[in-house]
A and B are shown apart, each in its own frame.
Chain A
Amino acid sequence: MSDRSSASDHENRGRTQTTRHVTLSNTVFMISLGIIGGTYLLLIAAMLTADTWYMAEKSVKAAYAANSWQVLLFENPIAEALADRKIRYSIWLSLTSCTLSAVFSLLVAVPIGYLLSRHQFPGKRLLDAVLDIPIVLPPLVVGLSLLILFQYPPFAWIARDVVYQLPAVVLAQFSVACAFAVRTMKSTFDHINPRSEQVAVTLGCSRAQAFGWIVLPDASRGMMTAFTLAWARSLGEFGPLLIFAGATRMKTEVLSTSVFLELNVGNIEAAVAVSLIMILAAVTVLVITRRWGLRDIAL
């Protein structure tokens, strides 16, 4: 009887120890995850706060020196940047070129993403790998490759109207942004049940009708994500633009080149102000994507 009771005590003690060990292990695991994730989150928050703080500090100092709150509102670096004709042009060009390159990216990404997701064909794996090249290539190399490409016919025939001109801005942005849009669209089509499309075909639809009436409406959130992602990538593009489109003020200057040009002339306030405008645009895109697009972007 006592033997059985001591065995039971031993078993209970062992179980309690195991429970404690599991609880401790789980706690350590969760804290580790929190610390690693939190550190990166802190870095992002700190970068954005530093930019904002820098601008706020400059503005408040200027307002204090002038003894006027109006200086704080209307003569801060962002307001001054917005008042600059060259910056206003670069904002206009950025908005226009990013929208154009995102539209072109979507027009290309939808058919390629659909083809890769739904069909088996010779060379599919090669095509899949080639489409990743703009993502992994150093940005400067993309720009240089475009520049070299336009040395040879048939591209050379239109090089005068493209290289270092406005079309070069859109083409440089599109070259990289499209790869991201393709990945997003492929992932979108991978998540859409192909059976609905097959049912539509048995109901009398042609492949094109099934695509237009059944697949595209289901892919609308993915299309929104692909568009905004391409737009955001285009906004941040710098290397290929600098090489292929140049950084001519009031001609091929977009926001990213504005930051570079302002830094080059030592105007750090203007550079940070333009950066804040870009951050605002990026956050807007992020909000749109989270609200109306796919929540999980698998690239």
Chain B
Amino acid sequence: MIAIKNMSVECGDFRLSEVSLTIAAGNYGVLMGRTGSGKTTIVECVLGLRRISSGTILLDNHNVTHLNPAMRDIGYVPQDRALFSRMTVRDHLAFALMIRRVSASETDGRVRELAASLGIVHLLDRTPHGLSGGEQQRVALGRALSFRPRVLCLDEPLSALDSETRQQMCELLADISRKEQVTTLHVTHNLDEAQRLADCLFTVVDGKIKPVEPAGGRN
């Protein structure tokens, strides 16, 4: 469960005030809004990458407002994927588990499982250089899911993909979030993408979050 309560944040001249949002456990929440409306800022606050002025952030009823990003247990896929240029795809999928000192056999098993789910088994020994946009997105998603986070934050993950790949990725996202039973906060400005994936849909308008009734949702 993700719950943001009366959160205010200031960065330079930009300000979000009294922002509130709740996504139930296991649900797929989509946050929409125009470019510059503050969607990424909200995600960064949830991740702990940006300090908030006031308010509370709860993840599965735990107050994480002042918790270090490393302790929040959130998988993150940024807009530019930010893959680690010197690591292979296998290293990406194993990275968070290596940090957590998970045993080699368990790590190997999780890497194989994720690679199979994401269809990137054949890419395991390659570095990000030369991978297509869709492949890079799958790697970034696998890296974020590898440590079975309680929350997944996706910041415009499909914005740089062509329509066919975007459609495939939408299906993959819906499938994998259900399979992993992870509460998801997905940021996008694409209405079609939002309608396809959302269990609950929100828009950011004038620094405030408003809930919107999703037309379809995941099926």
A interface residues with partner B (beta carbon < 8 Å): 193, 195-196, 198-206, 209, 213-214, 217-218
Contacts and interface: CB of A to CB of B under 8 A. Distances in A.
Contact of A202 (B74, B84, B85): B74
Contacts of A200: 84, 95
Interface in B60-110: 69-70, 72, 74-76, 78, 80, 82-86, 95-96, 99-100
Contacts of B85: 196, 217-218
Given A204-B70, A218-B86, A195 B99 contact: no
Contacts of B70: 201-206
Contact of B95 (A193, A203, A206): A203
A143 B83 CA distance: 46
A202 B75 contact: yes
A200 B82 CA distance: 10
Nearest to B78: A195
Secondary structure at the A interface, as helix, strand, loop or mixed, is helix
A217 B86 contact: yes
B47 A203 contact: no
Contact of B83 (A196, A205, A213, A217): A196
B193 to A, nearest CB: 21
Contacts of A199: 76, 78, 82, 143
B216 to A, nearest CB: 30
A196 B84 contact: yes
Given A196-B83, A198-B78, A199-B82, 10 more contacts: A196-B84, A199-B78, A201-B69, A201-B70, A202-B47, A202-B74, A203-B76, A203-B144, A214-B84, A217-B86
B72 A202 contact: yes
11 contacts: A195-B82, A198-B76, A199-B76, A201-B49, A202-B47, A202-B76, A203-B99, A205-B70, A214-B84, A217-B85, A217-B86
Contacts of A201: 49, 69-70
A218 B84 CA distance: 9
Interface in B27-50: 47-49
Contact of A195 (B69, B80, B96, B100): B80
A209 B80 contact: no
Contacts of B95: 200, 203
B5 to A, nearest CB: 21
Contact of A193 (B49, B80, B100, B144): B80
Counting chain B CB atoms within 10 Å of each CB, the highest count among A200, A204, A205, A213 belongs to A204
B147 interface: yes
Contacts of B147: 203-204
A295 to B, nearest CB: 17
A203 B80 contact: no
Contact of B99 (A193, A196, A198, A205): A205
Counting chain B CB atoms within 10 Å of each CB, the highest count among A196, A199, A206 belongs to A199
Nearest to B100: A204
Contacts of B47: 198, 202
A198 B84 CA distance: 11
Contacts of A204: 70, 96, 99-100, 147
A198 B95 CA distance: 14
Nearest to A194: B82
Contact of A198 (B82, B83, B96): B82
A196 B82 CA distance: 5
Contacts of A217: 85-86
A199 B84 CA distance: 9
Contacts of A193: 80, 82
Contacts of B80: 193, 195
Of all A-B residue pairs in the complex, the 6 with the closest CB atoms, nearest first, are A195-B82, A203-B96, A204-B99, A202-B76, A196-B82, A217-B86
Contacts of B75: 202
Given A195-B78, A198-B49, A203 B143 contact: yes
Contacts of A196: 82-85
